[in-house]
A and B are shown apart, each in its own frame.
Chain A
Amino acid sequence: KQEVTQIPAALSVPEGENLVLNCSFTDSAIYNLQWFRQDPGKGLTSLLLIQSSQREQTSGRLNASLDKSSGRSTLYIAASQPGDSATYLCAVWAARDDKIIFGKGTRLHILP
């Protein structure tokens, strides 16, 4: 059964710093991996989608990598801003279950 883990659960970083969020999954049989942003009490906004055949995706200050063989993904945020404060969720589309499995998220707080 696919499991997705995100570490750390919470992170506080001074504004302007670069940071990395981690996601790990137990079964490499995935169609894709997706990073979402969620503001308190709101829905999920897709940030980056990496197909299983890809190694990374970039959008602005965000870069996501995927190492399927080791079951790991990272989300790199460059030059962090207070507006980046949110919960970041990682999800994999598990091929064996044919369903999306979410991690519990990392709560990020950027200190002004």
Chain B
Amino acid sequence: EAGVAQSPRYKIIEKRQSVAFWCNPISGHATLYWYQQILGQGPKLLIQFQNNGVVDDSQLPKDRFSAERLKGVDSTLKIQPAKLEDSAVYLCASSYIYEQYFGPGTRLTVT
């Protein structure tokens, strides 16, 4: 069984630039999550999809972050424009019956 795929693995951008991350969940997993993890902290949920509908985006900074999950499969998370404080690891996860599976993460550095 293939795991959760994410790309890119690393990204370095300057502040005010835009960036996009991609995630492909495990086949058959209806629920997909994007987390932001700042160094030294636990993951913070940004957005949760159930199929292609949004379940929870209460902690997504909507003035600069956007996410979509077309066709209920893969998903993209975009930041535009980026700020220095967006430097973090962005984690994608999918779940089946109350167990989450995580991808390798994308490490974003904003300079």
A interface, CB within 8 angstroms of B = 4, 31-32, 34, 36, 41-46, 49, 89, 91, 93, 99-100, 102-105
The answer to whether residues A44 and B43 also contact, given A32-B98, A49-B99, A93-B98 and a CB cut-off of 8 A, is yes
The answer to whether residues A41 and B89 also contact, given A32-B99, A99-B48 and a CB cut-off of 8 A, is yes
B interface, CB within 8 angstroms of A = 6, 40-43, 45, 48, 56, 89, 91, 93, 98-105, 107
A41 and B98 form a contact (CB under 8 A): no
User: How many residue pairs at the A-B interface have CB separations less than 8 Å?
Assistant: 49
A43 and B99 form a contact (CB under 8 A): no
Complex Cα distance, B101 from A104, in Å, reads: 18
- Who on chain B is nearest to A51 by CB? B98
**Which residue of A31, A42, A93, A105 contacts B42 across the interface (Cβ within 8 Å)?**
A105
For the complex formed, measure the closest distance between the CB of B6 and the CB atoms of chain A, giving whole angstroms. Answer: 8
- Who on chain A is nearest to B104 by CB? A43
A44 and B98 form a contact (CB under 8 A): no
Complex Cα distance, B42 from A105, in Å, reads: 6
For the complex formed, measure the closest distance between the CB of A20 and the CB atoms of chain B, giving whole angstroms. Answer: 20
A41 and B42 form a contact (CB under 8 A): no
Q: By DSSP majority rule, is chain A's interface helix, strand, loop, or mixed?
A: strand
Complex Cα distance, B12 from A41, in Å, reads: 14
- Who on chain A is nearest to B98 by CB? A31
Complex Cα distance, B106 from A43, in Å, reads: 8
Contacts of B89 in A (CB 8 A): 41-43
- Who on chain B is nearest to A102 by CB? B42
B100 and A99 form a contact (CB under 8 A): no
